[in-house]
Amino acid sequence: MGGTVSGVSVEVHFASIQLSIYPKKFSKRHGQVIVVIRRIGGSKQEVGGLTLPSPGLLSPELDLKSPCFALPCQSALSHMDVQGYKRVRWRVWLCYLGAVLSLGLLLVLFKWRPRWGVLARCQPCPLHMADIVLLRDDFGEQCVLEVLTEEIEEEGLDSVAGEGNEYEWRDTVQLHKEEKLLLRYYVFQGIRYVWMARKGAFCKVSALNDHWTCAELHRMQQGLSAMEQSSRRKVYGQNLIDVPVKSYLQLLFEEVLNPFYMFQICSIILWMSDRYYYYAACVFIISLISIAISLYEIRKQSNTLRKMAQLIVPVTVRRNTGEEESVSSLELVPGDCILIPSEGLLLPCDAALLVGECMVNESMLTGESIPVIKTPLPGGGERYSADAQRRHTLFCGTQAIQAKGNYPGGRGALAVVVRTGFFTAKGDLISSILYPQPINFRFYKDAIKFLLFLGLLALGGTIYSIVMLNRSNTPVMQLLIRSLDIVTIIVPPALPAAITTGTIYAQRRLKKQGIFCISPPRINVSGKVSLFCFDKTGTLTEEGLDVWGVMEATGGSHFEELVPDPHLLPPGFMLSSLACCHSVALLGGQLLGDPLELKMIESTGWELEEPEGEDERGHAEFGGRRVLAVMRPPPQELLPQDVSMSQAVAIIQRFPFSSALQRMSVVTVGPGGQGATAFLKGAPEMVASHCLKESVPAQFSTTLRNFASEGFRVLALAYKPLDERTDLNSISRDEVEREMRFLGLLVMKNLVKPESPEVISTLRQARLRTVMATGDNILTAVNVARGCGMVASNERVIFVHASPPTGHSPAVLKFHLGEGGTQAAVSPDEIDVISQGLYQSGVTYHLAVNGKSFSALCDFFPEYLSKVLMRATVYARMAPDQKTQLVTELQKLNYRVGMCGDGANDCGALRAADVGVSLSEAEASVASPFTSKTDNISCVPLLIREGRCSLVTCFSLFKYMALYSLIQFASVLILYTIKTNLGDLQFLLFDLVLVTLLAIVMGKGGPSKELHPQRPPASLLALPVIMSLLLHTLLLVVSQIGALLITYSQSWFVPLNSTVTGAANLPNMENTSVFAVSGFQYIFMAIIVTKGHPYKKPLYTNVLFLVLLLVFSATMFWLVLFPVGIIQDILQLYEITDMNYKLLLIALAALNFFTCYLLEVLIDNGMVECCRTLRGHRESKKQYKRLDALLAESPSWPPLDQPLSSPQCTVIGFS
């Protein structure tokens, strides 16, 4: 069933009902949405993100009060799979009985498998009746949560959800009404989810205030009553980011129940039963120490994070009676009106600024050390969003340094609370640390699969040992112990810990280089990065800009001559705009603000003053108006002789720069409050679009293109006289910024950092694709891309223009050739490097896209999007959310994406990337996994080299631990076959001394100085790894059997006592021969698997590892050739006096070493490629490689200067 009306389409399937509404990201004026409704069986109802069409698109027949058309926010609805259960008393008692009878093992099983515990104790029920919910998040993790209830007083309920949402709230709280009103909710990862009957789901409690508009927030200035605040607090909970700190006893219980430690406990019990007392005691002591260190570190980290997260300060709130009351920040709720004192405040919540201005240090959130100016929220009917209105939002955890612009009856600023607790920006970041997103990395997945393979191998060994021991009439208990012992040998419990040592060493080395990491697993991921995105300003280019000159518009068809020094400008609107149109503030006599604006003010020579104390109530010099700042011209004696002095100008209203809007504006007045003028500054195209057409010179586009193509940063300025009768303090931004008059261009030189070309060249030589994503002009971005080497001088740039459909034309996509690079003389080597890069062999063009075209591509040309992404190098005029979307789209092509930015506007992209690097002075920033103290991109190749080194080290450690297990597995099975085994202290020597120490220091070697074009493998189940392990194991087993056969062939050989089994018949000749050869195998396999070139320094640079190898080798030579009697007795070795036999064993071990080393060299240098050649060519699994091959075979793509229309999309929907 379907229909279409008003351009909105809906498809409805009645097989079952589940509501999922997916926005198509069409332009807002079209108001189009795609809606799909379906159900997934039973009583379970899942509600996806809901985006309502624009007003007027709904037909009169639609019931807005139905659950399908409730008013949720996409962020407020849960996308998790939630199932309701109700406890059954007899099942609960049955589980208690089972736990007692199983000695608690049933409870351990339920802890490992929460779903089984729920199914055993409960029965399914509708969500609104559930007292237990089973939740599965987007990553497949399951969690069992208790549904809690809160009794709510009916008095004061009407105001809990705010104006206009009373019916929604009453539906929510009256669902479970019997004799009293109950709120039903559960808490997951610090966030409260409340039951909303009209939506038929548990939703984030923030859904109750997500509909607030800017105008509604302004109406909340009168404050809440004490009863209203109390009612809201019961619904929203305390304003607290609570990081749970568990007791040592609780941590111990959870740690011991970890499968790793459960396996250790079972192994220790088994070894004690088999009389391996020394070995069991040592493992037990080491496990205790490990647990103690782990508990201490967990507790310490939890306490540190709790201190950082918890913020409890006294706050002054305004009540609806007009009184001001000091309360704890714990009591704050959305809707509270708080006062920001003039001396500042450490903000305990997210709040929308309503009155006054605040200077805020947001370095805790963004890593950006420069304070930002927050201005009052405009009072329109637009829906409030903290992300969209960042410049008007005070974020939790940031420091308001000072507040000004008094509210009636006091000083400072007024703000209304919009988010509390984990819903705040700080809460979201703390949540990302507490509950990190699982890393989708093949290495970690393959490690689990390989452990399962070893488990299957252990099963085979267990069956073999049972058969062999049964033949020798071994008692049943002894047979069971020996068989299970095989499992503890083949599956090394220390494997997970061992493979992390390489990452730990890499993290320490990075810290010494000024790169801090808050997510160590990301270090390995950085070793597989195939594409790196860079911001431009402050990342590739210098943060500061030098003013190149000012070009005034004449009001006609052309510009005046470029004035290199703004000092030389005559008094007028152009000079006033340069001096006044900024967000620079004064703190302690020092100017603070954007470096560009600081340079602009410096170029004029004007000085900034800020009113203090009572002057804020009205500056007499400027007609008693409330003044934010005063700009005064330099004294006449400092001006050129032919330039007269200007008058002082007061800034009384400020609309700060927004990356989304690409502009800022101010309202100013002259002395006496006369001459009210609005000034606008921003991206030239944006400013021109807000100006009267007749005021924009006809040469505007040509002039802008010339400057941008030469790499200049260009800003445009405009002005507009204002009616003095207008209320200038409450004038809206839209009113200020329309019908402006174009003033001219400010031209600034943005130099490429000297490190940038070298780093980009290094990355391209290593076949790593480099991409620029910037908010600057596209021609400027292309020029910088050429300057830093992303686009070579002999390569062409093709511009991509995509436009959305209008009422008269469809969406159109067009490619046109820009001005190509000069055909400069380039060496053959350089040409070879360029042609090899980017997986674009032979491709000599790059695409350049701006933000508007990128959005149109995503919305209307999805079939071309992947091709454009494959060839685009420059993305200009990109808003912060578009940078995030770019990273996500590149990841869909199977790229491992790195992102390097300044940590402020790039926050979303840094967190979305596989590897995010923030250039910040902060020691650690939660804006991205990595923070570099260096102010240039030289940290990027260093991070990639460390990542590759760490990944290769993890591979080596994994192979070594696996081979160690297989060596010992073979030794034990061979000795089981002849009714003996290794001794207690022999196990101890191999496991805890030799192997453990070698594994610990193996990863200490640093990264190679060169960045190799080939990335290291990430799959443990790849053909080279599997072949290496299998063939090595075969050679190792043959050597051990060979040692045994050599021993049998000796004339003096005496068979062991066959009436005794296991370690009880030690010492014997068979055991001693296997011990000697296997001891050397543990040592030389550490050498073979520790590969250096091309990702690590050579083995000999790891001095500690080399020393251990020499010491252990000397020890084994000593034990085999010249053993001391007491050592032989301790290790239970048989005394053999035949020196020729001993030398033969050493020769066998040496031969084994040589063959294994030769095998590894062959595998690394061609054997695998030969196998692949025989197997035939297979298409790559990575989508970007397949696309690259496809584009390489399509020389006619992209079609130049040919308009491409978007194919007709079938849109199914309601209307």
At residue 1068, what are phi and psi to the nearest 5 degrees? -150, 165
Burial of 321 (0-12, 13-18, 19+ CB in 10 A): exposed
> Do β-strands 337-340 and 413-419 pair in parallel, antiparallel, or remain unpaired?
antiparallel
Distance of alpha carbon 701 from alpha carbon 1146, whole angstroms: 82
Contact 223, 320 (CB under 8 A): yes
Tell the residue number behind the tokens 């600081």, with chain if given.
598
Distance of alpha carbon 335 from alpha carbon 416, whole angstroms: 6
Tell the residue number behind the tokens 């006592």, with chain if given.
1057
Count other C-beta atoms under 10 Å from residue 31's C-beta. Answer: 17
Q: How many residues does the chain have?
A: 1215
Determine the residue type at 696: V
Interior CA angle at 421 toward 317 and 197, to 5°? 100
Distance of alpha carbon 34 from alpha carbon 23, whole angstroms: 6
SS3 677: strand
* Closest to 329 (Cα-Cα) out of 227, 413, 420: 420
Count other C-beta atoms under 10 Å from residue 544's C-beta. Answer: 14
At residue 374, what are phi and psi to the nearest 5 degrees? -105, 135
Contacts of residue 1172, Cβ cutoff 8 Å, sequence gap at least 6: 1023
Measure CA 203 to chain center: 25
Distance of alpha carbon 345 from alpha carbon 357, whole angstroms: 13
* Closest to 975 (Cα-Cα) out of 482, 504, 612: 482
* Closest to 143 (Cα-Cα) out of 191, 102, 106: 191
Contacts of residue 1157, Cβ cutoff 8 Å, sequence gap at least 6: 1084, 1087, 1088
SS3 169: helix
Distance of alpha carbon 389 from alpha carbon 386, whole angstroms: 5
Tell the residue number behind the tokens 């190679």, with chain if given.
1008
| Cα torsion through 199, 204, 206, 212, rounded to 10 | -30
Tell the residue number behind the tokens 């104390």, with chain if given.
613
Contact 159, 118 (CB under 8 A): no
Residue in 210, 446, 535, 902 annotated catalytic = 535
Tell the residue number behind the tokens 């736990």, with chain if given.
99
Distance of alpha carbon 122 from alpha carbon 133, whole angstroms: 10
Residue 336 catalytic? Answer: no
Sign of the C-alpha dihedral, residues 178, 180, 181, 183? negative
Strand partners, 744: 552, 717
Please, what is the end-to-end C-alpha distance for the chain in angstroms?
Answer: 13
DSSP state of 504: H
Distance of alpha carbon 219 from alpha carbon 214, whole angstroms: 9
Tell the residue number behind the tokens 């570099």, with chain if given.
932
Distance of alpha carbon 531 from alpha carbon 891, whole angstroms: 10
> Do β-strands 531-534 and 897-901 pair in parallel, antiparallel, or remain unpaired?
parallel
Contacts of residue 440, Cβ cutoff 8 Å, sequence gap at least 6: none
Distance of alpha carbon 846 from alpha carbon 782, whole angstroms: 10
Burial of 917 (0-12, 13-18, 19+ CB in 10 A): buried
SS3 803: strand
* Closest to 238 (Cα-Cα) out of 125, 327, 111: 327
Q: Which residues are catalytic?
A: 535
